[in-house]
Amino acid sequence: MTKEVKANILLVEDEENLHEALKLNLELEGYSVTSAFTGNEAFKAIKDEYFDLIIMDIMLPEVDGITITETLRIQNNEVPILILSAKNNSADRVLGLKKGADDYLTKPFNLEELLLRVNKLIQKNKKLLDKESIGDVYEFGKNKIDFKAQEAITWNNEHIELSKKEGMLLKLLLENKNEVVTREKILQSVWGYNVYPTTRTIDNFILNFRKYFERDSRNPQFFHSVRGVGYKYTE
């Protein structure tokens, strides 16, 4: 029982025999596998758990694999996705990759090849995460944010309690330092799948951040609105 789990994998496949065979082989390789048989089950699992990789069929009940991939990317979820498809035509392959999949295998496939690709995607993602994660505490311009405690100490030593959504938006902007984060990405990443508050809501959050963290809120150094596109954090 002390065997270390190599990674958490979400397996989304509605064909039961193939699903069970894949699950067994992945577990023999030391992976922890969560099963989903429909698109909605996949969404629920992704909401509830962290995964290092998703292996997903295109043709699924309720919501197809391409739509799931596209939705996750809009939500700024960069989990690696390996798509499985019975369709062996280049248009599907291109569409899958275009919508954000990292790799693509056509059924029937060689099990050894699948396991090699799985390992490669997980290792590549771990390297990226090691570089990009901002951790629980982040400091800038004499401001200090503690994401775990959901609080901040500002440049003038004011203590501020952050709401959950403020913390999520701050983390999203900080992790994408010097890059514009689109309104769509923010709305789905912070407010969730298919919940759309108005753009004014995000504007109000950005105004709050300027009040908290900028020495001159009218002439911001850190938090910027990019007209018609989104928002950006710069240092």
For position 1, what pLDDT does the model report? 39
pLDDT along the chain (235 residues), means of 10: 70 95 96 95 86 92 93 86 81 82 90 94 76 80 93 95 92 90 76 63 92 94 89 92
3-class DSSP state of 109? coil
DSSP secondary-structure letter at 5? P
What was the pLDDT predicted at 193?
46
Total Cβ atoms within 10 A of residue 188: 21
Query: What is the rounded distance in angstroms from the CA atom of residue 214 to the CA atom of residue 153?
Result: 12
Domains belonging to the chain, first-starting first, are 8-132 (3.40.50.2300), 137-233 (1.10.10.10)
Q: What is the 8-class DSSP label of residue 178?
A: T
The runs of H, that is alpha helices, within 10-163 are 16-28, 39-48, 65-74, 90-98, 111-132
